[in-house]
Structure 1
Amino acid sequence: MTQNIEHINWEDFHFLRIEYLYMGIGAVLVLIIGFLFYKESNAWKKHIAPHLRPYVIKKGTSWKSYLIRASVILMFIIGIISFLGPTWNQIKAPAKKVESQFVIALDLSKSMLAEDVSPNRLERAKFKIRDLLEAGPRAATNLLVYAGSTHTAIPFTTDYKIILDQLDGLQPKMMPAQGTEYNGLFKKMDTLFNENKAQGKILLVTDDLEDLSLEQVSVFLQDNNVQLFIYPLASQSGAKIPTTKQNSALNIPKLNALSEMEAVDILEITLDDSDVKDLAKAISDDLVFEDQTNQEEEDWQDNGYWLIFPLAFIFMFSFRKGWSINLIILALFLQSCSKNTTKEATKFKFKDLWYTKAYQAQQDYDSENYLKAASGFDDPMHKGVAYYKGGDYLSAESAFKKDTTVNGLYNLGLTYAKLGKLDASQAVFEKVLQKDPSNENASSNLKQIITAKDKMASQQEESNIKNDKKAAKNKQNKSPEDLSGGGQEATKKDMEKERLEETTETDKRKGKEMDELPEDFKSGKGELPKNILMRKVDDDPALFLTRKFKYQVKKGIVEVQKTEASW
């Protein structure tokens, strides 16, 4: 440090915040003018008898007054110079470590149901995505689904279980518009990787490259620091698209042209999980990126803190009468010595001086800005309730899991019900009743859940009986080519496939949504009025995404563009 002072390079000497010089000059001028026009009031002296004044009032020396004024002005000048940030030497800024982000774009067009890849293209894609996430790429991952429109199924998260829980329910029928539209997909991904310094990774899982423009891919890669992995899930011969007469096959020339581009890798499908394990390792190994500061942006060391020593010498006299104001001046100007010039410092708000973060979060909660309030709360109960009322049930679940109180368990049970996890909700409410047998709300909700499960089980049983009768009737026609027995113009394979689809469809437990929380549901208490019961539940998380996607299209949040292919 001493060497820095002794070897000042005056050629490099400058101020880091010279643009504030006019403010400091104005403050000093106001201070000087105030001292010049200051006149001591002597009106009180007339209340003392004239013959006693020489004995009562002892006249001091004027130089002390001038010294005090001069020292205050000097302190202002020193503080201003410190605030301007005198510097004459550069320091090597440490590299900022940023992490890469990962986007999985899954094609949900009808052609993904073709069976040239066993069991079909979509199911194989799900298997591969599951194996990929279980291999642990470690990057924050975003799941996009697209067909005629592009939607965010799961935003960036490192909790892969959230993605895996939603993966099984993804089907083409949940998309508002059919087709394979890439313009919306690349526009969406462009917003996700805007100004990213760490190289992002994208896994494009698709079977249809017909509408994918090579120019569009090239422009996207030039504008964004990303690496694109393409996972083609289709064969060269192709297969028939269900419910259509069209055949879908892999466009080999387009695939070869893409493979020749920089930052584009084509993944080859394997029977085991070695392909996705290699991808997960590549993402994990290239996860952290060190952002080296450019030469033009090298930091200059703020040497204003050296002025603390002359300020400290002057403040040795702060015990004198009238000098306490100097403490305020010191507190104001020493703030300029802080080296915290990062963006984090700019996040400070004026109301932070008066309100705590928790109180500000409560204000947002009272204003029904629940998601913003949730980010400000530290208490798991408050955070969970805010997320719940904001509609982010997955985050609410994570928050309530951290609260081990009875109220926390109760709220967790409600959240599980909202997510459609009836078995988990039932287990939680049973645990609540074990700890608090007098909890009437938990008892009522438990009965409602059990009733709903029984009703759905009976509906499933009735559906299975009908299917069995239908299957028995179909068996009367022993020869599928003989149309006289039951008019069945189908093969055995088609009949078995139809039966499998019906069974799969009836195995889904469906219900209605639960009502929103009542207005008098207070944060942190986790209680509901006694007359409010959890009357309706939703047991299929895919229904939530289906309604969400349709709502986004209806409100114009997501654009839909027609494609030549309707599948």
Structure 2
Amino acid sequence: MTDIFPIIWSDFHFLRPHFLWGFAGVAVILILGLLNARENAGWKKHIAAHLRPFVISKGSASIKIVMQFVQAIALSCAVLALAGPTWKKVQLPGQILETPMVILLDLSQSMMADDIQPTRLERAKFKINDFLDSKPGARVSLVGFAGTAHTIVPLTRDYKIIKNHVETLSPKVMPFLGSDLKKALDLADTLMSITTAPGTVLVFSDDFDNQDFDVIQNFIEPLKSTTPSRNKIEIMPMNTPSGADVPAYSGRGFLKNDGKALHSSLNSAVLSQIGGLENVTIHQLTLDNSDVELIAKNVSDHLKFTEAPTEKEDEWRDVGLLLAAPSALLILMWFRKGWVVFSLLMMVSLSSCNSSNKVEDFNDLWFTRDYQGQKESKAGHFVEAANLYKDPLRQGVAYFKAGEYDEAIRAFSRDTSAMGAYNLGLAYVQNGDLAAAQLAFGEAIKLDPENETARNNYNKLGHVLEGESEASMADAQEAGAEKGKAKNEQNKSPEDLSGGGQKATKKDMEKERLEETVNTDIRKAKEQDEVPVDFKSGENNNQQMVMMQKLDDDPARFLMKKFEFEAKRKNLKPNPDEKPW
């Protein structure tokens, strides 16, 4: 109590000032009460004077008037409590968050140079594996970049998946030539934006020039931001001062410029400038694992981040709660037959006349947000329904039906149940992120070992991602030209999201379960060796039409097709000013 008083009048204000209109209702109730008491006193003159002491209780009129004022005081305290008087801010505890990490791997042609044995790229792969073996503890994502940047593995704690993908990487999987670090950092920033905790970016690259210095500086110190970024960049240069000639794309000979072989070497001057930036560290390659072990230790030591609270309007201390107790005590004094009901009816009548009340506020008085969302969903307004739902599972289902798969992923990520993990996997499949989908299905199996559908999807995706099952790939050879038409026909019913043309069971309908299984998508996918010529970016094309095709037992070919599809769908183009090697 002592930390609230004395009142600082210069900071005094109301958190919910619109409730002060309630004083108008209090005044009307007081006036009507006094008039009623006065009218009741008028009939006394019709009683004989010698009988009045025996008919009328002494002091009853004055008590009624006093009680009217007590009622007004009690209601006034209630109005003030609702308005939320405040004059002092509260120090909120910081939120503890987990810091993410993104590994950026340069997949340009110059990484095939052999000044670092066996090649720069192979040594970078070794270092990534050694780093993961050091168990940094954070969620790690892997991004490959050349002329464009692509997510190879989203944020995950399953380092085995990252290591499996690392082995298959080469410049051939990238859709465009080049080495655009800016695109890679932008993608890393997007991946780390799922949390406000500062993240760490580990860069394996061999090409750093003055343009890269500006890119890194803008990433650490954004020009349009009043506060510097808290993200850290760890750089591991994958070349030597002596350098080496860049091999040709065919593997025979070297790339040439004006008849001379292109030579790539370490730019020590630029690296020295980059290392001087705040939150940027340059690590020199070592023969052992001490370099990556140091990075892993730094990540592990700063795994938990306590977010400092910022002063916002809702951080003012609401003193209105202190007025609730005296208001309740005063109400008890006039708690007599008919009085409470009469006063409540008067307050409701007066409040209903207030034109400032919004329709949404009125609905919130009588219906839960989930019920309102259910009504919007039945009307086919899925985006509006998602904005109303409080339950993340229902919100994700609504976004899924609306085709907003990114939003559905965010919603399902907040649901820790087995159903939420299963639906998260389906959303990732629709969004084209099959590695993340497999992780989600694995989490669903862990939470519900009896979920056979999730297990089948997990195994099927494992075959696709690792290229271990020709039988699974043979299913993808069936014609899928009518995929889009069939999908529209199957999803006309909001209760059937199986995508397989089969009716959902009663249990599925009750749970609003998403049954668009990966198995069905594979069976109905179309065999295509190239991205369609008439493919248009921005359209709601089914990603499995391109990715779920007949593949060799080579995961690199799958990644190549996936990145090629992403480049077409998102209309990604390389920077013409970037060096093509």
- Taking structure 2 as the reference length, the TM-score comes to 0.64
Alignment of 1:75-224 (within 5 A): 75-87=74-86, 91-189=90-188, 191=190, 198-210=197-209, 212-223=211-222, 224=229
Q: Are the equivalent residues in 2 in contact too, given 1:315–1:326 (CA < 8 A)? A: no
Which string of whole-angstrom CA distances, capped at 9 and with x for unpartnered residues, describes residues 340-381 of structure 1?
A: xxxxxxxxx962465672545444454455635634655424
Matched with 2:266 is 250
> Are 2:338 and 1:321 equivalent residues in the alignment?
yes
- With 548-557 and 353-362 compared, the bigger mean Cα shift is at 353-362
- Give 2:243's aligned amino acid: G
Question: Counterparts of 2:453 and 2:192 in 1: how far apart (Å)?
Answer: 39
Deviation at 1:130, TM superposition (A): 1.8
Unaligned runs of 5+ in 1: 41-57, 334-348, 426-448, 456-509
- Give 2:284's aligned amino acid: E
- With 290-299 and 548-557 compared, the bigger mean Cα shift is at 290-299
| Change over 3 Å in CA distance of 1:158–1:240 after alignment to 2 | same
| Change over 3 Å in CA distance of 1:87–1:210 after alignment to 2 | closer
Question: Counterparts of 2:151 and 2:557 in 1: how far apart (Å)?
Answer: 15
- Give 1:153's aligned amino acid: I
- Give 2:275's aligned amino acid: S
Question: Counterparts of 1:327 and 1:421 in 2: how far apart (Å)?
Answer: 66
Which string of whole-angstrom CA distances, capped at 9 and with x for unpartnered residues, describes residues 366-404 of structure 1?
A: 445563563465542464145325515224422431354
Question: Counterparts of 2:522 and 2:182 in 1: how far apart (Å)?
Answer: 46
Identity percentage over the alignment? Answer: 26
Matched with 1:412 is 455
Question: Counterparts of 1:15 and 1:211 in 2: how far apart (Å)?
Answer: 54
Question: Counterparts of 1:169 and 1:111 in 2: how far apart (Å)?
Answer: 17
- Give 1:248's aligned amino acid: S
| Change over 3 Å in CA distance of 1:132–1:301 after alignment to 2 | same
2:327 pairs with one of 283, 288, 311: 311
Alignment of 1:324-343 (within 5 A): none
Deviation at 1:231, TM superposition (A): 0.6
Matched with 2:21 is 26
| Change over 3 Å in CA distance of 1:70–1:156 after alignment to 2 | farther
Three-state SS of the structure 2 residue aligned to 1:138 is: coil
- Give 1:282's aligned amino acid: N
Q: Are the equivalent residues in 2 in contact too, given 1:116–1:239 (CA < 8 A)? A: yes
Q: Are the equivalent residues in 1 in contact too, given 2:87–2:317 (CA < 8 A)? A: yes
- Please tell me the root mean square deviation across aligned C-alpha atoms, in Å: 4.5
> Are 2:230 and 1:225 equivalent residues in the alignment?
yes
- Give 2:150's aligned amino acid: H
| Change over 3 Å in CA distance of 1:75–1:557 after alignment to 2 | farther
| Change over 3 Å in CA distance of 1:533–1:130 after alignment to 2 | closer
Matched with 2:357 is none
- Aligned pairs, number: 448
Three-state SS of the structure 1 residue aligned to 2:200 is: strand
Matched with 1:235 is 240
Matched with 1:488 is none
Question: Counterparts of 2:315 and 2:116 in 1: how far apart (Å)?
Answer: 56
Matched with 1:17 is 14
| Change over 3 Å in CA distance of 1:303–1:416 after alignment to 2 | same
- Give 1:261's aligned amino acid: L
Q: Are the equivalent residues in 2 in contact too, given 1:318–1:326 (CA < 8 A)? A: no
Which string of whole-angstrom CA distances, capped at 9 and with x for unpartnered residues, describes residues 498-553 of structure 1?
A: xxxxxxxxxxxx9769978424474559698x999948776655445433422332
Deviation at 1:270, TM superposition (A): 1.6
- Give 1:554's aligned amino acid: K
Question: Counterparts of 2:175 and 2:306 in 1: how far apart (Å)?
Answer: 41
Matched with 2:568 is 554
- Give 1:273's aligned amino acid: N
Deviation at 1:181, TM superposition (A): 1.9
Matched with 2:302 is 286
Q: Are the equivalent residues in 2 in contact too, given 1:150–1:558 (CA < 8 A)? A: no
Three-state SS of the structure 2 residue aligned to 1:323 is: helix
Q: Are the equivalent residues in 2 in contact too, given 1:179–1:562 (CA < 8 A)? A: no
| Change over 3 Å in CA distance of 1:557–1:155 after alignment to 2 | farther
Question: Counterparts of 1:172 and 1:100 in 2: how far apart (Å)?
Answer: 30
Question: Counterparts of 1:422 and 1:185 in 2: how far apart (Å)?
Answer: 23
Deviation at 1:12, TM superposition (A): 5.0
Which string of whole-angstrom CA distances, capped at 9 and with x for unpartnered residues, describes residues 287-343 of structure 1?
A: 33334457899955433222122122134355743525878989xx9xxxxxxxxxx
| Change over 3 Å in CA distance of 1:535–1:423 after alignment to 2 | farther
- Give 2:454's aligned amino acid: N
| Change over 3 Å in CA distance of 1:531–1:383 after alignment to 2 | closer
- Give 2:438's aligned amino acid: L
- Give 1:417's aligned amino acid: K
Q: Are the equivalent residues in 2 in contact too, given 1:206–1:232 (CA < 8 A)? A: yes
- With 24-33 and 274-283 compared, the bigger mean Cα shift is at 24-33
Three-state SS of the structure 2 residue aligned to 1:125 is: helix
Deviation at 1:452, TM superposition (A): 5.6
Deviation at 1:179, TM superposition (A): 0.9
Deviation at 1:206, TM superposition (A): 0.4
- Give 2:99's aligned amino acid: S
> Are 2:444 and 1:400 equivalent residues in the alignment?
yes
Question: Counterparts of 1:375 and 1:66 in 2: how far apart (Å)?
Answer: 60
Q: Are the equivalent residues in 2 in contact too, given 1:143–1:153 (CA < 8 A)? A: yes
- Give 1:142's aligned amino acid: S
Question: Counterparts of 2:193 and 2:423 in 1: how far apart (Å)?
Answer: 32
2:422 pairs with one of 384, 388, 393: 384
Q: Are the equivalent residues in 2 in contact too, given 1:101–1:141 (CA < 8 A)? A: yes
Deviation at 1:218, TM superposition (A): 2.7
- Give 1:25's aligned amino acid: L
Question: Counterparts of 1:350 and 1:105 in 2: how far apart (Å)?
Answer: 45
